[in-house]
Every structure is written in structure tokens, then in C-alpha cells.
A and B are shown apart, each in its own frame.
Chain A
Amino acid sequence: MSRTEFMQGNAACAEGALAAGCRFFGGYPITPSTEIAETMARRLPKAGGVFISMEDELASIAAVIGAAWTGARAMTATSGPGFSLMMENIGYAAMTETPCVVVNIQRGGPSTGQPTRAAQGDMLQCRFGSHGDYSTIALTPNSVQEMFDLTAKAFDLADRYRVPTFLMSDEIVGHMRERVTIPDAVEVERPRPLAEGSLPFEAGDDGVPGFAPFGSGRAVHVTGLTHDERGYPDTTDPEAHDKLVRRLVAKVESARREIADYEVVNPDAETVFVTYGPPSRTVEQVMRDRPDDSIGHLRLRIVWPFPEFALKVFPNAKTFLMPELNMGQVVREVQRHVDQPVVSIPKIGGELHTPAELVRVLEVYR
């Protein structure tokens, strides 16, 4: 049995987290993500969890990482300015292989920008925002249902690959109200435990070490310094750094097919929209208005790691069109993987592309 409700996207995100077993939320109020914290504040104590309002976003992500090291499923939610503040500790989570979930309800930037307006301007920041080389996972919901489903899924991916995992939503989907079906239970995949005799940062073939949360008697030393398989700092040996950082990147990038989540419409199409998040809703409207097999749609539910093989699903493609709520960010990734022309359809200011705007571009390129 499941139940159906009419719900706000941010509330569905919180419900998805709770259903996935999230039991720790550290946060700081920021528009347009605040309803997630408010829902968690109301619901977590009754679910046996901990809600804590931290003094800033640096502290929020720090507390989440601390809680995650006790084995709790832990999350924070924020928007642009707070996301920027979290960057250093996101790198720490990547370096220490801490499974945790960061929700970013994107708003217009840079700086304080447009607190109540939507954007997708942090898509490269979530991939490259902290210093140094690393890889993470980013999910991009386009509906209230997906705010629930993909938040729950984010916890599994974070645990499976031991990486900070981002739910990169935005003001439109966060504040949208739609019907959502909530299952009675969500299947959960927790991290593989650290095997007896294994070192705390000794990875298997998949590049992912077993996890021994604090209190499990394994005396794990966790550091953001370059470290060996024991977790001990080894900061000057080029080989030690090379081995660690290449593994941190490869464990995510080499699992691109396993992680990938996308939808394909009309694989024989010649003109293909590539979207993630709410611009996909406009493309769906365009395709409903004018059914035409020569127009295709690739919608990414996971943008990072980027599933470049999904672009090859359209063998007849002559042009890719990419509407984004930014000045052209993920389009760069598409451009570097295909030979055909890739047209960016940027839009900033806070409003979604209208169907008419996309049709105008479509007319030019087909």
C-alpha cells in the first residue's frame, strides 16, 4: 500500500529523506530551501532522529559529516550562498569518503542574487566547486514525485560510493505543488561494512573501501590530508597522493553506467533536446503540442557523473538543443562528447523557458 498526497517539492524532499532512513539534519535557514529544514524540524524528533539548527552553513555540513561518521544517514539543505560556504567541507567529505546528502534548491546568483527565483547556475559548482580533483554525484529532479524519489536514491548512491551526493533542484521544483505517491517503505542500500583484516581506506575492485563508523571498535583515523590505506597522513609522497586522488575520481567516473539515470524519447530523432530539471517540463509541453518523431528528448535525472554514452542513443541526431536556467553550463559537457552542433538555449532571471521560446529555436535548427 502507498498513499497519494498533494505536496510541495521541498516537503517531498524531506519525506523522501525520512523514508530513506535519514536521521540527522543540520541546517541553516535560506530561501528557497527553508521548507526542507522546517519539515525535518517537525518530523525528525518524532522519527527518533536529530534536527539541529547550526550557526551557519559551514557548521551545517560539518555537523552532517560528523553525524555520518557515526553511521547515521545525514543531510543538509541550502541554496546558492550557503552552498558556496559549504564548499571546503564538501571537499573534506570527498577526501574522507563520507557518505552524506546535500540538497541545493538553486536560486539566481551570483551572490545574494534572486532569493525567490529559480536557476540552475550551480551545476558546475557542485562538480568542481571545492579545490582539488574529485568526483561526486548530482541528481536533478523535475517533479515533486522526483523530489521524493531522487532524495531517497541520493542516500543509496552516497552510501554505495561513499561520496557526498547532491540533489540539485531549484526554486521551481522546490516550491511546485503536485501529486506525489509515497510508498510505505523504500528499499535501502547501506555502505559495505569494513571487512575484518581490511584497512579503513583499502578499496576493493570498485574503488570503494568498506565503512567502519565510529564506535565500531576499528579505531579509524579520518583526515582531510592526503592519507594512506590506514588513514594516516602521507602528505609529501607524490605516489601516495596520485594513488588516493585517482581512486577518489575513478570510483565514481568508472561507475558512470551503473549510476546513470535518464529518459529517452524518440531515439530516431534528428533534433534532440537535452535537459535536466524543470526545463524538461517545457520540452515535454512542446512535444505534446506538436507530436513529431523527428524531435527527440534526452532527460538526465543524474547529471554528474556525466553519462556521455546516453548521447549515442540518438544515432540520427543532427543537432542537440540544450535549454538550461543558466548561461550555458552542462552544455559544455555535451559539446565535448559529440561531433554534431550543440546549441545552448540559456535563460536567466528566474523564469522557465516558455514553449514558444523553445519552438522558435527549434524552427531555426531543423
Chain B
Amino acid sequence: MIAPDWFREDRLPHIYCTGCGNGTIINCTLAAVEEMGWKRDETVFVSGIGCSSRAPGYILTDSLHTTHGRALAFATGVKMARPDLHVVVFTGDGDLAAIGGNHFIHACRRNVDMTVICMNNHIYGMTGGQGSPTTPPGAISSTTPYGASEPAFDLAELAVAAGANYVARWTSYHVKELTKAVAAGMQTPGLSFIEARTQCPTNYGRHNKLRSVSAMIEHLRSHAILVAKRDRLVAEGKPIPEGAFTVGELVRRNRPAMGVQR
């Protein structure tokens, strides 16, 4: 249960569509914040543009809703100038991996001490469902009417390669695991990246034979395989199931970090 004093109740109703998974991820994040014992006046939420990025507007702390793709650069300025503040970034797949891709890899490289949560719904939701860098090959969107023809980015693996100290991936189905991962990220000095795959029934599911919310969540659940299971399959020389993606903790390490409060 999230303490209601973390929400801006005067901002309700929110803009999210029926069945959207973003609320679940906001809940998991605030549960982790509560577990950390952070105070409202020492926590700052930062975001870019898109459905995910509206989240800070519903949370009763200082918050910076910025320009498309640039949230991590703004957050870097906040954290480097005030290392005593806790900085959490909400972003989406379009915001982070398309227009903000350069800021993403450099924020991971710098390893600035903040927690980045990407609501990856595989689509540009706010503008009505266009293909993004994480749209799976073959998926239908308004700009991929014959099926997405580009390979997709693996955001979590990208963060690992670029140097983030903590990287995990879960989905809106894995509420407990996701909450634990966000808290673990918050505890880890340096940049923590948590990819939360989530459902967009309105603009993604509808066009991809996943019309109901439950079908979308079941799709996420059934295609998620634990990192350990993936490793076992690879060791045994067995194939990874079609369309599967790993979930769990991908890295937890202690590279030198920036903006850590002394």
C-alpha cells in the first residue's frame, strides 16, 4: 500500500487509457521509494515526453517534465548540482532509445547516481501507436502497417554494455519482482536501469491480436524467461523459445560512479 501523500490527488483523473500498465509501474516505484524511507522533499522525479513521462506530474514531489529524449541530461544536471537529492527518471522506449539514445548510453557510461525506469510498451503511445526502436519485428503499428521491418533494441543489454551499475528487467505482470528490483537499484550507487515491459492495449495490443488487457499481460508473462533459465538453455545447447526475453537482474556491480553523496 502506497502512502496516499505521495500522489497529487488534485491531478486526477490521470490521462492513462483503460488497461494501461504505466500505473502499475508507478505503484511499484513508489512502493520501492517507501521501502527506502525516502522523504518527499528530498526526492525529485524527472521525465521526458510520452505517456511514461507524464508520471512525475502525478507524484507530490519536485518534478521536472522536460523535452523529448532529454530527461537523463536534465537529471544529470539536477543530481550533479545536488547529490543529496534522490533522483528518479521515468522514461519510455521512444523517449529513451530513439530520440534520447545518445543521452542513454552516456548517462550509463558516466554512471550518475540515479534510478532510471523505462516503461517499455514497444510503441509511441502518446501519438497514437507508431513503431519505436523496441517494436518487435513483424509487429503492426500505424507506421509499420506491413509489420515492423527493423530489428529491435534490447534496452537492458544496452545499459549493461554502456556501464550502468545495476540493470534489471521485469514486466507489469511481475509486480513484486519489479518493486524489489527498483529498490535494489535505488540502493546501488551509480546509475540503475530498470526496464519494465508493459502493455499498451489501446495502441499496440489492438493491432497485434492482443486486444484484451489480460491477453497482453499473459503474453508478457509467457514470453519472459529468467536469466538463469536462459543461461541453462544456452549451456545445454537448447534453443531459446521464439519471442522470449530475459527477466531478472542482469548486472549489479561497482564501477566508479558520479554524483554519489559523500
A-to-B contact residues, CB < 8 Å: 23-24, 26, 50, 52, 54-56, 58-60, 62-70, 72, 74, 88-89, 92, 214-225, 230, 232-233
Contact = CB atoms under 8 A, between A and B. Distances in A.
A92 B65 CA distance: 10
Given A24-B81, A62-B66, A72-B81, A219 B103 contact: no
Given A214-B85, A222-B63, A233 B74 contact: no
B62 interface: yes
B11 interface: yes
A215 B41 CA distance: 6
B77 A224 contact: no
B74 A65 contact: yes
Contacts of A63: 73-74, 76-77, 80
Contacts of A233: 57
B75 interface: yes
A88 B70 CA distance: 11
Given A56-B102, A69-B78, A232-B57, A218 B62 contact: yes
B65 to A, nearest CB: 4
Contacts of A66: 46, 64, 73-79, 81
A232 B58 CA distance: 10
Interface string B19-39: 000000000000000000000
Interface in B1-27: 8, 10-11
Interface in B122-172: none
Contact of A214 (B44, B80, B102): B44
B63 to A, nearest CB: 5
Contacts of B75: 66
B57 A215 contact: no
Contacts of A26: 76-77
A222 to B, nearest CB: 5
The 7 A-B pairs with the shortest beta carbon distances in the complex, nearest first, are: A66-B77, A63-B77, A62-B73, A59-B73, A67-B81, A223-B65, A67-B77
A70 B67 contact: no
B70 to A, nearest CB: 4
Contacts of B103: 55, 58-59, 62
Nearest to A66: B77
Given A59-B106, A224-B66, 9 more contacts: A24-B81, A63-B80, A66-B46, A70-B77, A70-B78, A214-B85, A219-B60, A221-B62, A224-B67
Interface string B97-139: 0000011001000000000000000000000000000000000
B82 A215 contact: yes
B64 to A, nearest CB: 5
Interface residues of B, number: 34
Contact of A70 (B56, B57, B82, B102): B82
A12 B79 CA distance: 28
A223 B46 CA distance: 10
B70 A58 contact: yes
Interface SS, A side = mixed
B77 A65 contact: yes
A275 B157 CA distance: 56
Nearest to B58: A221
Nearest to B53: A223
B80 A221 contact: no
Given A59-B106, A62-B70, A224 B65 contact: yes
A55 B102 contact: yes
24 contacts: A24-B80, A50-B81, A52-B77, A54-B106, A59-B102, A59-B106, A62-B74, A62-B76, A63-B77, A65-B66, A66-B73, A66-B75, A66-B76, A66-B79, A67-B78, A67-B80, A70-B81, A70-B82, A72-B81, A89-B67, A92-B66, A214-B85, A222-B65, A225-B65
B61 interface: yes
A70 B79 CA distance: 9
Contacts of A24: 77, 80-81
A67 B81 CA distance: 5
A232 B11 contact: yes
A225 B67 CA distance: 10
Nearest to B46: A66
Contacts of B84: 215
A230 B77 CA distance: 24
Contacts of B218: none
Contact of A221 (B40, B63, B77): B63
A318 to B, nearest CB: 48
Contacts of B70: 58-59, 62, 89
B62 A215 contact: yes
B76 A215 contact: no
B42 interface: yes
A70 B83 CA distance: 10
Contacts of B74: 62-63, 65-66
B42 to A, nearest CB: 7
Contacts of B8: 221
